Every structure is written in C-alpha cells, then in structure tokens.
Homo-oligomer: A and B are copies of this chain.
Amino acid sequence: MHSPTSAGHPVTVLRDVRPWGGERSDLHVADGVITAITPHDPAGAAAGAGSTVGAERTAGVVEGGGLLALPGLVNAHAHVDKSWWGKPWVSYGGAGGVQGRIAHERAHRDELGIPGVDVTLAVLRESVRTGTTAVRTHVDVDLGVGLRGIEVVREAVAALGGAVTAQIVAFPQDGVLRRPGVLELLDAAAAAGAEHVGGLDPATIDRDPVGQLDGLFAIAERHGVGIDVHLHDGGDLGAFQIELMIDRTLRAGLQGKVNVAHGFAVGQLPAARQAELVAAMGEAGITMTTVAPIGAAPLPLHALREAGVAVGLGTDGIRDLWSPYGTGDLLTLTTQLARLSGFRYDEDLVAAARIASADAGRFVGRAVHDLVVGAPADVVLVDAENVPDAVVRAPRRALVVAGGRVVARDGEVLV
C-alpha cells in the first residue's frame, strides 16, 4: 500500500473511450502525459483479447470498453489531514457552530492520531478510488501541531507515488491574530513551500478583519504564495471582507492568487449588491471554491462565470471531528452542486462537470487539466451515456488513471 515509487501499472494507450461523451477514441500516453488522441482503432495494437474495462491487452495497452471519459476529478477544497476515514465510527459529540466544532476537534484529534500519515493515506486512497487525482487541501497549522500536519500530508501524497497530487494551504483553523504565534507559523509554512496561506473568518474568529487580512497579504507578498480564506461570515459582513480582499489583491498585484472559500455571503446578497460584488471580484481576479452545501443559498454560478470568477468544487472535511458526512466522491458532489444550482439543461450539467475537473486545474497548480494533448494523463471512466447522465447519476468509477497509471478499477483502489 505504501508504494515509495510510482503506483499502478503504466498505460501507453487507453483504448476505446469517449472523451466528454464524444467519439470513441484511443488516448496515447507517455511520461504521464496525453501525447495523442486518435479515433478508436478496433484492430488496435494487438488482436484477440476481450474488451473488459481495465484489462491489459499487451504491456501498457488498456481497454476502456467504450466508456465515457472525464479528466481526473479535482478536489479544490479538502482537509485531508484530519479525516478519520477507515477508523471505527466516532460519534459526534461536540457543540454546534464553528466555535463548537473547533473546540471538539482540539479536544479529540490526538486520540485519533490526527494529524498522521496513516489517516491521511486512508482518505486520499478513498478519494483516488472515486476518481480524484488532484487536491488542494487546507492543512491545520496551529500552536499545538505547528507545521507537522503539512509534513504528514506531503509524506502521504508521496507514498501514493503520483496517484494524486496536492497543493497545500497552511490553514489557521484555530484563528490567526487571536493566537499569537500563528502568523509566524504561516510565514514559516510559506517559506517551507506551502503553496498558499489560509485564513478563517477574519471578523468573527479574530474579531479583526483588517488585521488578519493584512497579515496574510504580507506573507503572500513576501513569499509569492497564494491566499485562500475560509469565509463563512454571511451577508454584508461577508461581503465587506471580500471587499477588503479585493482592495488588497489589487494593491499587491496578486490577481489570480487569492481565493474565497465558501463565501456564503455571495449567494445571500440582494441581486444588485451581488452583481456589484461579483463584478469587482472578477476585475481583481479573485476565485472561489464551494463545497455546494445543502441548505445554503447557492453561489450564482452563471454570474460568476460571466464576471470571470473561476469557481472550484471541493469536499470540505470528510468524516472528521467537524462532521461525520462526506465520502470524498467529487462526482456525487457534482450532482449536489448541479442540483443546488437548479441546473436542468444539458449545457449546465456539463458546466458542472467541468467545474469539478477541467476548469479546476488552476486550483491545483496545473496549467492544463483536460482530455487534451499535453495534459496530465488523468482519466476517469464511467458507464454513462453522456456527461449530463454521469452528473445526475454519479455512476461507480470503472477505471481511474492518474499520471498515466491505472490507480483504481471497479471500485477498488490499486495504490
């Protein structure tokens, strides 16, 4: 399970798949990258063998069985350092609210071995099993664990040998300014290679939105890293903090590097105020990530797209001390995003699938992430008629290829 080198068997040709539900094609792969996409050749390189999905005909030639192909799924907002996936059931025992959940987590994480390489491996493997091949994960950085969680996640990702790649957000789950020393930890994390520094409700957690954001932006400017702030604060209070972020982004020239996670406020604002804010976000190159929370006001996905605000989809925590929910399955979550958004037309359902995959490369440090030549060979096969069918039904993943290697098949992870 802890393969120190590349995981899964290598693919040279993934035969007979339908990229985005299109024509039957053969995907050619070298060095983990898609090198050509050709019309499917039924004769193929070798003759005779059956077409069971995932079967290898000759070395590296893998059968796709005519299934629908999507790019590897991108989890743009995860917390893979703190899941108890794979462990015996942990009954939730904390109080309500963000503060109640933070306290519950602080009190019990040690007994679950959180953060730890094994627990992180367990949830990452489950993610790979369902087709996620790239993750942006917020990793707790606080006065208790310091930067240990980041090391743990790096080690777990490395142990999976390329089955999944990860970008790290150094995440001050317990607050920034209210815990003296955390800002220095975030600075150290950025210096040590974390791709982003995180924040958390600057107003309601630190009681000092300007102070927290100034601190984060200073680190980002100093180290050239991104910023990714959890913002649960709603309505005008949330909108105000997004405006503070817009101002600082423009001033620091950090366009494209600043993300608002959750951003419930954007969905809650009256129409005119929402339009104004979304336009300003677009001009500042602010991005958003959502976890498509059931029961929340949905983000205005059409308006955000028109304003040029990229949106990523993530799982949030998966079966952790905040909540027992979550499986890591991004395609099921895509159904949820589409449904929450009231999507019924085919083009909207396809857009939802793109949010969960091809359009999300920027959230995980990939210039290109799609079923195109030059992209990483990350492919998910499902038995679906077309992309809308895949989105509304979220069928079992028949085959998952990551970095040009077969990493899961028929619901079984191979790494």
Contacts and interface: CB of A to CB of B under 8 A. Distances in A.
B91 A346 contact: yes
B385 A88 contact: yes
A319 interface: yes
A298 B363 CA distance: 32
- Per DSSP, chain A at the interface is loop
Interface in A368-415: 385-386, 388-389, 392-393
Contact of A349 (B88, B298, B324): B324
Contact of A294 (B294, B323, B344, B386): B294
Interface stretch (A143-151, A164-172, A186-194, A334-342): A334-342
B298 A386 contact: no
B340 A91 contact: no
A336 B294 contact: yes
A325 B326 CA distance: 20
Contacts of A88: 385
Contacts of A389: 89
A321 to B, nearest CB: 11
Interface size class of A (residues with CB under 8 A): 20 to 34
Nearest to A91: B346
Nearest to A342: B295
A385 to B, nearest CB: 5
A339 B89 contact: no
Contacts of A298: 295
Interface in A268-302: 294-298
A327 interface: yes
Nearest to A389: B89
B89 A385 contact: yes
Nearest to A395: B327
A91 B385 CA distance: 12
A345 B393 contact: no
For A294, A295, A298, A336, which residue has the most chain B Cβ atoms within 10 angstroms? A294
Contacts of A340: 294-295
A261 to B, nearest CB: 19
Interface in A91-125: 91-93
Contact of A319 (B92, B93, B386, B392): B392
Contacts of A393: 327
Contacts of A296: 295
Nearest to A85: B393
Nearest to A325: B392
The 9 A-B residue pairs whose C-beta atoms are closest, nearest first, are: A92-B344, A91-B346, A294-B339, A294-B340, A89-B385, A324-B392, A294-B294, A325-B392, A295-B340
Interface of A: 88-89, 91-93, 294-298, 319, 323-327, 335-336, 339-340, 342, 344-346, 349, 385-386, 388-389, 392-393
Given A93-B345, A295-B297, A325-B335, 12 more contacts: A88-B385, A89-B386, A91-B345, A92-B345, A294-B336, A294-B339, A294-B340, A295-B296, A295-B340, A324-B392, A325-B339, A325-B392
27 contacts: A88-B385, A89-B385, A89-B386, A89-B388, A89-B389, A91-B345, A91-B346, A92-B344, A92-B345, A92-B346, A93-B345, A294-B294, A294-B336, A294-B339, A295-B295, A295-B296, A295-B297, A295-B339, A295-B340, A295-B342, A319-B392, A323-B344, A324-B344, A324-B349, A324-B388, A325-B339, A327-B392
